[in-house]
């Protein structure tokens, strides 16, 4: 029996559950993190979206304002590899919205490549964006999160590294580092009531990440390897991130919420390997 074909569109949370909260979302101009930003706006938060492309961010912000009545969204271009740009983005958020209570670390880069031919620079690039970029983001936002009094930091990881995935040594190393870092942060920052949790998406359809890692020709074989027999939707990750941002998760920190249909319970081989 496959997962329900009906994608849930209604939230189980009140539409003002994040009223008064401010979220800072890296990668928020596209894909999964754009969905998370929209979901936070729909639940009453003010949101800053951050990535490298100013044009893409401004287009996303305009779409959010058009589709979500009263949406207060700020678009700030910054490269997560540059701490100064992130500090400026965090300050711009506090200047405009007064605070930061929720942080989504979602900016990432990926492509398929075998370890034996991956260049030294290619490996380092993904570590710098995903792992060091996540640390830079958290560190730049920390003074504001501490002041919040009740903050939620969510790292967008993956389930690729829980068993190892061919052609993915670079994100596997980066995401494993992010998971470990969040356990430590949960320990250090519990005293400030800053909760630090991980959401690990599996294969989420209609995303850049999925387009880069899969191949439509092998769609059926991929689905057959997923115990829940279906790909995830962006809304599945939105719901996980909404839960962790609310007081419903006030006693949850250092946790990893895997949203992947138990993708890796079978032996995962990249679809392109099968070509």
Instruction: Kindly list the residues in this chain that would bind ligand NAP in the complex (CB under 6 A).
Output: 26-27, 29-33, 51-53, 56, 79-81, 106-110, 129, 133, 156, 158, 201, 203-204, 207-210
Number of residues counted as binding ligand COA (CB under 6 A): 13
What residues pair up with 103 in beta bridges, in sequence order? 24, 153
**Within its chain, how far is the Cα of 266 from the centroid?**
24
DSSP three-state, residue 154: strand
Q: What is d(CA 113, CA 166) in angstroms, rounded to the nearest whole number?
A: 8
Match 């006030």 to its residue by tokens: 250
Query: Is 51 part of the annotated catalytic residue set?
Result: no
DSSP codes, 66-100: HHSTT--EEEEE--TT-HHHHHHHHHHHHHHHS--
**Contacts of residue 115, Cβ cutoff 8 Å, sequence gap at least 6:** 169
156 binds, among ligand COA, ligand NAP, none (CB under 5 to 8 A by kind): ligand NAP
- Candidate segments 114-122, 160-168, 185-193, 250-258, binder of ligand COA by CB under 6 A: 114-122
30 binds, among ligand COA, ligand NAP, none (CB under 5 to 8 A by kind): ligand NAP
Strands 73-77 and 102-105: unpaired
- Candidate segments 96-104, 205-213, 224-232, 265-273, binder of ligand COA by CB under 6 A: 205-213
Query: Is 66 part of the annotated catalytic residue set?
Result: no
Q: Does 208 bind ligand COA (CB under 6 A)?
A: yes
Minimal CB distance to ligand NAP: which residue? Answer: 31
Give me the residues that bind ligand COA (CB under 6 A), please. Answer: 108-111, 113, 119, 121-122, 125-126, 208-209, 212
């Amino acid at each position: 029996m496959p997962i329900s074909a009906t994608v849930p569109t209604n939230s189980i949370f009140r539409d003002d559950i994040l009223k008064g909260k401010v979220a800072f979302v890296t990668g928020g101009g596209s894909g999964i993190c754009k969905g998370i930003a929209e979901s936070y706006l729909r639940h009453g938060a003010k949101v800053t979206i951050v990535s490298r492309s100013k044009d893409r961010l401004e287009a996303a912000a305009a779409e959010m304002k058009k589709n979500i009545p009263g949406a207060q969204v700020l678009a700030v271009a910054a490269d997560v590899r540059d701490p100064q740009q992130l500090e400026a983005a965090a300050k711009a958020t506090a200047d405009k919205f007064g605070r930061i209570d929720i942080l989504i670390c979602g900016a990432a880069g990926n492509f398929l490549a075998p370890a034996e031919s991956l260049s030294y620079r290619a490996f380092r690039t993904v570590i710098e964006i995903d792992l060091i970029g996540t640390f830079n983001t958290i560190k730049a936002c920390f003074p504001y999160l501490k002041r919040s009094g009740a903050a939620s930091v969510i790292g967008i990881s993956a389930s690729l590294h829980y068993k190892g995935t061919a052609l993915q040594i670079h994100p596997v190393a980066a995401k494993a580092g992010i998971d470990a870092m969040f356990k430590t942060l949960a320990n250090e920052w519990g005293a400030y009531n800053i909760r630090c949790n991980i959401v690990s998406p599996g294969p989420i359809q209609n995303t850049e990440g999925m387009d880069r890692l899969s191949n439509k020709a092998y769609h059926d074989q991929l689905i057959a390897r997923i115990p829940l027999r279906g790909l995830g939707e962006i809304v599945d990750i939105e719901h996980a991130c909404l839960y962790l941002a609310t007081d419903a998760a006030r006693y949850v920190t250092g946790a990893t919420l895997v949203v992947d249909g138990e993708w890796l319970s079978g032996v995962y081989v990249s679809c392109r390997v099968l070509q």
